[in-house]
């Protein structure tokens, strides 16, 4: 498939989306691999803390999926600045210089300082060096959060219109051990964690097949623990209407050095395994999409 056959959407410093024009109804997205802050942004976090809180190299690991006929959306801005995988109302009001005029959505993530606008970069260390103005936060949400959600919605809707169904994989990386702000603090994590909000965002055959693919490669697996999935699969997963969303978390120890945050010697081998897994997922989607289009289906 050539680049001429791929629809491209680039919003500088915000997002980059690629979707094959005659591709399959499969879309991957990486909301946490971005690095580009606004020029006037300032915070308390060190470069190391910012790097540690990014899904580093996830966009690169999944870059091949367009060659397999799938779409790919990547955020270019960091999740510690604005997090696309949170509801726009998940804001801790204690961060603000004045009251927020509408009701806010208080969740476990906001309570630990990991809402749509990050309160803590690590436990006990404030992300921001000052209270944030309401209009400033609104501008961030309108410039970064809203276009990401809108673009993903358009990609999924386009595929669903053409094929009658769509499959979505929300892609992340995870530390090899649970950190202080997580429910599994101090626990060693599986190689791959798959989530569907405990069965709410996909038919079980899709997440079950994904699990089978990774286990066939010898990777350890956890389902819906310590991550159940968050805003993006909650918003876009609707299996009753043939919209299937899963979240995948890849243990960083599989492909990088967690002390330097550089690629490890295992990076290329893992990327090849991932290429083979996503190829099987693409075949799964082709088969299911073909079934939907048969007259007797």
Q: What is the pLDDT of residues 93-137, one digit of tens each?
A: 999 999 999 999 999 999 999 999 999 999 899 999 999 999 999
Q: What is the mean pLDDT of residues 197-201?
A: 98
Task: Give the pLDDT of residue 3.
Answer: 44
Residue with tokens 């097949």: 209
pLDDT at 1 over 50: no
Q: Output helix, strand, coil percentages for the chain, rounded to the nearest 5.
A: 35, 20, 40
> Which band of pLDDT confidence, cut at 50, 70 and 90, is reported for residue 175?
very high
Q: What is the mean pLDDT of residues 84-92?
A: 98
Separation of alpha carbons 177 and 190, rounded Å: 9
Task: Give the pLDDT of residue 78.
Answer: 97
Stated length of the chain = 297
DSSP state of 96: B
Residues whose CB is less than 8 angstroms from the CB of residue 118 and which lie 6 or more positions away in sequence, other chains included: 79, 80, 81, 83, 127
pLDDT at 294 over 70: no
Whether a cis peptide bond, with omega within 30° of 0, leads into 111 is no
Q: Tell me the per-residue pLDDT of 234-283, one tens digit each, with 9 for 90 and over.
A: 999 999 999 999 999 999 999 999 999 999 999 999 999 999 999 999 99
Task: Give the pLDDT of residue 148.
Answer: 98
pLDDT at 199 over 60: yes
Q: What is the mean pLDDT of residues 57-74?
A: 98
pLDDT at 295 over 70: no
Task: Give the pLDDT of residue 293.
Answer: 64
Task: Give the pLDDT of residue 278.
Answer: 98
CA 265, distance to chain mean position in Å, is 25
Q: Which residues of 261-288 are buried (b: 16+ CB within 10 A; e: fewer)?
A: eebbeebeebbebbbebbbbbbebbbeb
pLDDT at 32 over 50: yes
CB 45 within 8 A of CB 162: no
Environment class of 210 (CB within 10 Å of its CB; exposed 0-12, middle 13-18, buried 19+): buried
pLDDT at 209 over 50: yes
Q: Which tops the pLDDT comparison, 179 or 6?
A: 6
pLDDT at 36 over 60: yes
Task: Give the pLDDT of residue 157.
Answer: 98
């Amino acid at each position: 498939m050539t680049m001429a056959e791929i629809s491209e959407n680039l919003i500088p410093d915000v997002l980059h989306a690629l979707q094959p024009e005659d591709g399959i109804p499969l879309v991957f997205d990486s909301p946490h691999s971005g690095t580009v802050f606004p020029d006037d942004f300032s915070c308390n976090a060190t470069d190391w803390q910012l790097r540690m809180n990014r899904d580093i190299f996830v966009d690169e690991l999944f870059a091949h999926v367009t060659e397999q006929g799938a779409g790919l959306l990547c955020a270019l801005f960091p999740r510690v600045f604005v997090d696309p995988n949170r509801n726009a109302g998940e804001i801790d009001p204690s961060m603000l210089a004045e009251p927020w005029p509408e009701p806010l959505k208080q969740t476990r993530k906001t309570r630990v300082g990991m809402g749509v606008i990050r309160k803590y970069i690590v436990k006990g260390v404030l992300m921001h060096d000052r209270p944030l103005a309401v209009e400033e936060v609104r501008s961030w949400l309108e410039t970064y959060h809203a276009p990401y959600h809108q673009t993903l919605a358009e990609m999924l809707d386009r595929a669903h219109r053409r094929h009658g169904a769509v499959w979505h994989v929300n892609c992340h990386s995870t530390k090899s051990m649970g950190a202080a702000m997580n429910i599994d603090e101090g626990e060693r994590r599986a190689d791959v964690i798959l989530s569907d909000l405990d069965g709410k965002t996909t038919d079980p055959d899709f997440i079950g097949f994904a699990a089978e693919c990774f286990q066939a490669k010898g990777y350890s697996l956890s389902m819906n623990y310590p991550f159940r999935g968050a805003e993006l699969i909650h918003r876009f997963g609707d299996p009753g209407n043939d919209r299937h969303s899963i979240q995948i978390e890849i243990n960083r120890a599989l492909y990088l050095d967690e002390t330097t945050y550089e690629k490890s010697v295992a990076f290329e081998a893992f990327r090849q395994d991932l290429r083979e897994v996503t190829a099987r997922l693409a075949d799964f989607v082709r088969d299911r999409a073909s079934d939907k289009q048969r007259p007797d289906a």
